[in-house]
Amino acid sequence: MRIERLAGVVVGALAAAGCGSGAQAPPSVVEQAQRVVVMAPAAAEMVVELGAADSVVGVGDFVSGLAPLAELPRVGAYNAPNAERVLELRANLFLTAASAAAAESHRRLEALGIAVVPLDTSTHDGVFVSLATIGRLLGREERARALAREMRQRIAAIRRTATDLPRRRVLFVVGRDPLFVAGPGSHIDEMIGLVGGVNVLADALSPYERASLEVVLERLPEIIIDCSDNRRTAARGRDGGDWSRWEFLPAVQRGRVYQVEPSRLVIPGIRLPEMTLLMGKLVQPEAFGEPAPSEMGQP
Amino acid sequence: MRVGRPATLPRVLAWTVGLAAVLAACMLVAASVGAGRVSVLDGLWGGGGLAEADRRILLDLRVPRVLMAALLGGALAVAGVAFQALLRNPLADPYVLGVSGGASIGGMLALLLGFGAGQGALGRLGLPALAFAGALGALVLIEWVATVDGKLTVYTVLLTGAIFNAFSAALIYFIQSLASLEELHAIVFYLMGQIPAPAPTDLVVLTGAVVLVVVALAAMARDFNALSLGEEGAMQIGVDVDRTRRRTFWLGSLLTGLAVSVAGLIGFVGLVVPHILRILLGPDHRLLLPSSFFAGATFLVLADLVARIAAAPAELPVGVVTAMIGGPFFLFLLRRGRGRYGFS
Amino acid sequence: MASPDSGVTVEARSLDFRFADRTVLRGVELRADPGEVVGLVGPNGSGKSTLIRILSGVLGGYAGTARVDGREVRELPRRELARLVAVVPQEPTFSFPFTALEVVLMGRHPHLAGLAFESERDLGLAHAALERCGAARLAGRAIHELSSGERQRVVFAKALAQQPRALLLDEPASFLDIRHQVELYDAVRERAREQGGTVLTVLHDLNLAAEYCDRIYLLSDGRIEAEGRTADVLDAATLTRVFETEVYVDTNSVTGNLIIVPLPSRSPGRVR
């Protein structure tokens, strides 16, 4: 069942890449994908995890922290890749995040004979699809399947553990001033559900909602996870921060406000099981254990 | 629409008190209604009947925010009147002279440096302080560039302001292109305007500052009237035009800078409110200035109310609401008043 | 209308004024005393308006002397100067739609202090001024709805309401029909003769000048070409030379004053 879907997506992606430029569809990419440029951090992680780091010749500006790719040349941001650099590197596969803004530069690359494969890693499903796609493109299908299986099993285990736990009201903050909260349809919302939490903003209209502080307070969250601060120097851990001002919140009264580094939870990828586990610890520490400060990003 | 009577003290007082009463009523309504359920009436009549949470939300969040909206709305409207008098053009708004560009740059730098809510007192004040510093910097720069032969002329200040605005917009885009996704979000929404809920001390200080500046501008009302005769005409009836221009530039820009530092870019208040009042009450600034303050306050209080509840549980940026209300209304007025409002 | 205190002398001595690279006024000597109507005539671009603007304090940066009531214009505080001198400009502009009455009331500006509102007396003066200018019925109309002629009468009323001790007029009648021209200059003359005010008026219409001015200055290219009693200055030879066109001068059999008629280039009487 999954394989058909996978094949469909790969063919679709390649077809789209081909259609976009109006040029000939590139020849079977699998054999020739020796020189890959990876723009998205999530995709890069997958490539490394699949053991295909050798194929990578260039990375996007936001790809960092992956040892095997550390020395590679940078080719620009998502929607402004430097086509010349990509050409210089003689890449024949360009893995990037799906982005309407970058459509123009993608077309340009395709016109130059480079296969462009946009990957959507913003949801759980998207992560698995992307993993399979990359596996297929880089000739690592077996490894990809195994990895996917393992990820699913670990997540399923977490879900099982959370089955009979009390439902807790969770507020997940992605931004402050203005207040941005994770809403339905976001991968965060999915994780909250997985670990037996209830998103206080389950009735929001978008995955990332510019929310009314008033409403959020009124709904008396029991857990607050604050991922709004991405400065390296920010305090991390079990810390009320600015939320302590609202002493009537159950989360504040019970000391269940967590300042977490955004990259630990916000952007899904191959670390999905670890993220889900961390979410479990934050929401249901009795069942999963207290989260360690280092897990929340404290250096 | 208005009677051709010149402004008199009783008339000014009557309108001022009347509009202030309307403002008070609107503030009461705005404080009563929110995306949540709390009503201020519960607090008044229910005595101790409000849950702690509701009480805190009302007193610490909603009421300060409504007060802030009133203060900023009044400030922006008065700044609008001042700049329209200075530039002798009813289509001028508080942002035309470039001060908002400076405030926006300051605010963005603050965001990039990591200021913003969530970092305690320094964070809370850091952003507005930097934004205001940006506004002042822009003010000084623009005034220096626009002063020719020791005089600040309307054309040079307008041109300098326009160029500075264009320059800041370019700089803002540049900074945006370098910013990370999260920073980008914050920057974009800062620029769209949001009324904060200030701490009581901050609110008192801000109110004091705004009131001082507004009163200073109101005192120049007759000079503003005279300016409509042209700069020579005003000089010939005894107005020190250069001093008036400079003062108006500074005072109006201070109001604008304060507003932008604290709430981002909220448009249309400074353009539409003075315009409507001028049609209703006449161009005499002795009446127009105080009335604009209260009318602008009312307008922004109501706009913020809409911003707060229209898309619950989400919030709209208030600048979007003022534009959506102000824009069509302004066009409607222009069409209606077309015959009556053409002038040299 | 209540009469002002007696007029004050307005004078310029050795007045030079340069603007950009042009010399606009050279060594101008001019004087207007209380009780007389002094006319300032001359070709376009001769510097007449500039002179008015200097005397009313709008233009500084002149060399020489420009005095009102014996005091140097650029040293007088604006309000005080405005209480002494009122100007009726050539082309008044208004950026906002005040009513005619409100515009006239602005003439009271130099007499009001701080945040004051106009008093009954101010209103009375304003209404009387409008009456005197035949513009009473325009009081409640918005200024931009009026014709240029009506606007001119309103700004004249404003100048009167200002109760100045010297009145400077820059072609105040250019848009007025003949009836209103006469009315305006009758009021101007009354100002000088009966109220003892000082009047200096710039005119294009030489016949009006001949009728109403006691003395005339003829300005050309920044210099006073001729000055003196009207009849002496407005003679055919002088006018022809200064305006560079033939004129015919005769006597108005009704009033006894001069009539000046410019001659088209192909008329029988022309010497060409």
* CATH code of A263's domain: 3.40.50.1980
| Among candidate residues A129, A151, A173, the one where a domain is terminated | A151
My answer on whether A6 and A124 are in the same domain is: yes
Domain B9-335 of CATH type 3.40.50.10380:
no
Read off the pLDDT of residues B53-66 as tens digits, 9 standing for 90 and up: 888 888 888 999 99
What count of other Cβ atoms lies within 10 Å of the Cβ of residue C26? 16
- What does the alpha-carbon distance between residue A9 and residue A117 come to, in Å, rounded to a whole number? 11
pLDDT at residue B22, as a whole number: 97
Residue B21's contacts (CB-CB under 8 Å, 6 or more residues apart) are: none
Pairing of strands A168-175, A223-226: parallel
Which of C195, C189, C213, C193 is closest to C203 using CA atoms?
C213
Judged by CB atoms closer than 8 Å, whether chains meet at C115 and B219 is answered as yes
Cβ–Cβ under 8 Å, residues A264 and A299: no
Interface test with A, best of B33, B180, B182, B187 (most A CBs within 10 A): B182
Cβ–Cβ under 8 Å, residues A120 and A185: no
Q: Which of B8, B229, B238 sits opposite C79 (nearest CB)?
A: B238
Instruction: Kindly report the backbone phi and psi dihedral angles of residue C8, in degrees, each rounded to the nearest multiple of 5, phi listed first.
Output: -120, 160
pLDDT at residue C2, as a whole number: 40
Cβ–Cβ under 8 Å, residues C121 and C163: no
Can you name the residues that pair with C22 across neighbouring β-strands? C19
Residue of chain A whose Cα is closest to the Cα of B56: A246
* Lowest mean per-residue pLDDT among A69-83, B173-187, B250-264: B173-187
pLDDT at residue B183, as a whole number: 67
Closest Cα of chain B to C201: distance in Å? 16
Sign, Cα dihedral of B41, B44, B47, B51: positive
My answer on whether A176 and A146 are in the same domain is: no
- What does the alpha-carbon distance between residue A149 and residue C37 come to, in Å, rounded to a whole number? 107
Mean pLDDT of chain B: 84
pLDDT band at B340 (very low <50, low <70, confident <90, very high): very low
My answer on whether A186 and A107 are in the same domain is: no
Q: Which amino acid is at B10?
A: P
Is the link from the previous residue into B313 a cis peptide, with omega within 30 of 0? yes
Question: How far apart, in Å, do the first and last CA atoms of chain C sit?
Answer: 52
Between positions 197 and 236 of B, the ones with CB within 8 A of A are 197
pLDDT at B122 over 70: no
Domain chopping of chain C, boundaries: 10-262
Query: Which residues of chain C fall below pLDDT 50?
Result: 1-3
Cβ–Cβ under 8 Å, residues C152 and C176: yes
Judged by CB atoms closer than 8 Å, whether chains meet at C109 and B237 is answered as yes
Query: What is the 3 state secondary structure string of chain B?
Result: CCCCCCCCHHHHHHHHHHHHHHHHHHHHHHHHCCCCCCCHHHHHHCHHHCCHHHHHHHHHHHHHHHHHHHHHHHHHHHHHHHHHHHHCCCCCCCCCCCHHHHHHHHHHHHHHHCCCCCCHHHHHHHHHHHHHHHHHHHHHHHHHHHEECCEECHHHHHHHHHHHHHHHHHHHHHHHHHCCHHHHHHHHHHHHCCCCCCCHHHHHHHHHHHHHHHHHHHCCHHHHHHHCCHHHHHHHCCCCHHHHHHHHHHHHHHHHHHHHHHHCCCCCHHHHHHHHHHHHHCCCHHHHHHHHHHHHHHHHHHHHHHHHHCCCCECCCHHHHHHHHHHHHHHHHHHHCHHHHCCC
Interface test with C, best of B215, B217, B232, B236 (most C CBs within 10 A): B236
Cβ–Cβ under 8 Å, residues A35 and A55: yes
Residue of chain B whose Cα is closest to the Cα of C161: B237
Residues of A in contact with B312 (CB under 8 A): 212, 215
Instruction: Give one DSSP letter per residue of A63-77, joined into a string.
Output: --S-GGGTTSPB-EE
Between positions 219 and 258 of B, the ones with CB within 8 A of C are 219, 221-222, 225-230, 232-233, 235-240
Q: Which fold has domain C10-262?
A: Rossmann fold (3.40.50)
Q: Which of B230, B236, B278 sits opposite C93 (nearest CB)?
A: B230
Residues of A in contact with B38 (CB under 8 A): 214, 218
pLDDT at residue A12, as a whole number: 46
Interface test with C, best of B235, B237, B288 (most C CBs within 10 A): B237
pLDDT at residue A18, as a whole number: 43
Question: Pick the residue with more confidence: C271 or B336?
Answer: B336
Question: Pick the residue with more confidence: C208 or A108?
Answer: C208
Cβ–Cβ under 8 Å, residues A41 and A62: yes
Instruction: Kindly report the backbone phi and psi dihedral angles of residue A97, in degrees, each rounded to the nearest multiple of 5, phi listed first.
Output: -80, 145
Residue C213's contacts (CB-CB under 8 Å, 6 or more residues apart) are: C37, C38, C39, C201, C203, C230
Q: How far is the CA of A63 from the CAs of A100, A123, B241, in angstroms?
A: 20, 19, 60
Which of A120, A194, A186, A118 is closest to A151 using CA atoms?
A194
Sign, Cα dihedral of A170, A176, A180, A186: negative
Touch test C–A: 3 Cβ pairs or more under 8 Å: no
**Is A187 domain-assigned?**
yes
| Among candidate residues A125, A151, A177, the one where a domain is terminated | A151
pLDDT at residue C267, as a whole number: 62
- What does the alpha-carbon distance between residue A130 and residue A118 come to, in Å, rounded to a whole number? 9
> Burial code of C88-121, b = ≥16 C-beta within 10 A, e = fewer?
bbbebbbbbbbbbbbbbbbbbbbbbeeeebbeee
Pairing of strands C63-68, C37-41: unpaired
Question: How far apart, in Å, do the first and last CA atoms of chain B sit?
Answer: 20
Strands of chain A (E only): list them: 36-38, 56-59, 76-77, 80-81, 93-97, 115-119, 168-175, 180-182, 197-199, 208-210, 223-226, 237-238, 257-259
- What does the alpha-carbon distance between residue C173 and residue B148 come to, in Å, rounded to a whole number? 35
Q: What is the mean pLDDT of residues A260-285?
A: 91
Read off the pLDDT of residues B23-37 as tens digits, 9 standing for 90 and up: 999 999 998 887 766
- What does the alpha-carbon distance between residue C213 and residue C221 come to, in Å, rounded to a whole number? 22
pLDDT at residue C68, as a whole number: 94
Cβ–Cβ under 8 Å, residues A37 and A116: no
pLDDT band at B342 (very low <50, low <70, confident <90, very high): very low
Cβ–Cβ under 8 Å, residues A66 and A45: yes
Question: Pick the residue with more confidence: A234 or B206?
Answer: B206
Judged by CB atoms closer than 8 Å, whether chains meet at C98 and B232 is answered as no
Dihedral angle of Cα A171, A175, A177, A178, to the nearest 10 degrees: -80
- What does the alpha-carbon distance between residue B86 and residue C150 come to, in Å, rounded to a whole number? 27
Which of B300, B306, B290, B199 is closest to B259 using CA atoms?
B300
Can you name the residues that pair with C68 across neighbouring β-strands? C10, C71
pLDDT at residue B1, as a whole number: 39
My answer on whether A7 and A57 are in the same domain is: yes
Residues of B in contact with A217 (CB under 8 A): 36, 53, 56-57, 61
- What does the alpha-carbon distance between residue A64 and residue A41 come to, in Å, rounded to a whole number? 7
- What does the alpha-carbon distance between residue B162 and residue A230 come to, in Å, rounded to a whole number? 35
Residue of chain B whose Cα is closest to the Cα of A230: B182
Question: Pick the residue with more confidence: C201 or B105?
Answer: C201
Q: Is B188 on the interface with A (CB under 8 A)?
A: no
Q: What is the mean pLDDT of residues B204-211?
A: 94
pLDDT at residue C155, as a whole number: 94
Instruction: Kindly report the backbone phi and psi dihedral angles of residue C219, in degrees, each rounded to the nearest multiple of 5, phi listed first.
Output: -105, 130
pLDDT at residue B193, as a whole number: 85
pLDDT at residue B39, as a whole number: 54
pLDDT at residue B247, as a whole number: 93
Rounded to the nearest 10 degrees, the angle between the axes of helix B120-146 and helix B99-113 is: 150
My answer on whether A142 and A183 are in the same domain is: no
pLDDT at A115 over 90: no
Mean pLDDT of chain A: 83
pLDDT at residue B300, as a whole number: 97
Q: What is the mean pLDDT of residues B105-125?
A: 67
Q: Is A262 on the interface with B (CB under 8 A)?
A: yes
Which of A98, A95, A72, A121 is closest to A268 using CA atoms?
A121
Domain chopping of chain B, boundaries: 9-335
pLDDT at residue C5, as a whole number: 61
**Full residue range of the structural domain in which residue A213 is found:** 165-288
My answer on whether A146 and A183 are in the same domain is: no
pLDDT at A248 over 80: yes
Which of C222, C228, C167 is closest to C200 using CA atoms?
C167
Q: Which amino acid is at C184?
A: L
pLDDT at A274 over 50: yes
Q: What is the mean pLDDT of residues A291-297?
A: 88
Sign, Cα dihedral of A226, A228, A232, A234: negative
Report the phi/psi class of residue C20: left, alpha or beta, with left for phi > 0 and alpha for psi in -120 to 50. left
pLDDT at B299 over 90: yes
Number of structural domains (chain A) is 2
pLDDT at residue C1, as a whole number: 40
pLDDT at A98 over 70: yes
Q: How far is the CA of B178 from the CAs of A29, A80, A104, B184, in angstroms?
A: 33, 11, 20, 9
Read off the pLDDT of residues A200-229 as tens digits, 9 standing for 90 and up: 999 888 888 889 898 899 899 999 999 988
**Is A105 domain-assigned?**
yes
My answer on whether A194 and A270 are in the same domain is: yes
Q: Where are the alpha helices (DSSP H) in chain C?
A: 48-55, 78-84, 100-106, 120-132, 148-161, 178-193, 206-212, 230-233, 236-243
My answer on whether A133 and A204 are in the same domain is: no
pLDDT band at A147 (very low <50, low <70, confident <90, very high): very high
Question: Pick the residue with more confidence: C44 or B184?
Answer: C44
pLDDT at residue A102, as a whole number: 72
Read off the pLDDT of residues A18-45 as tens digits, 9 standing for 90 and up: 444 433 344 445 555 578 888 888 888 8
Closest Cα of chain A to B117: distance in Å? 6
What count of other Cβ atoms lies within 10 Å of the Cβ of residue C147? 11
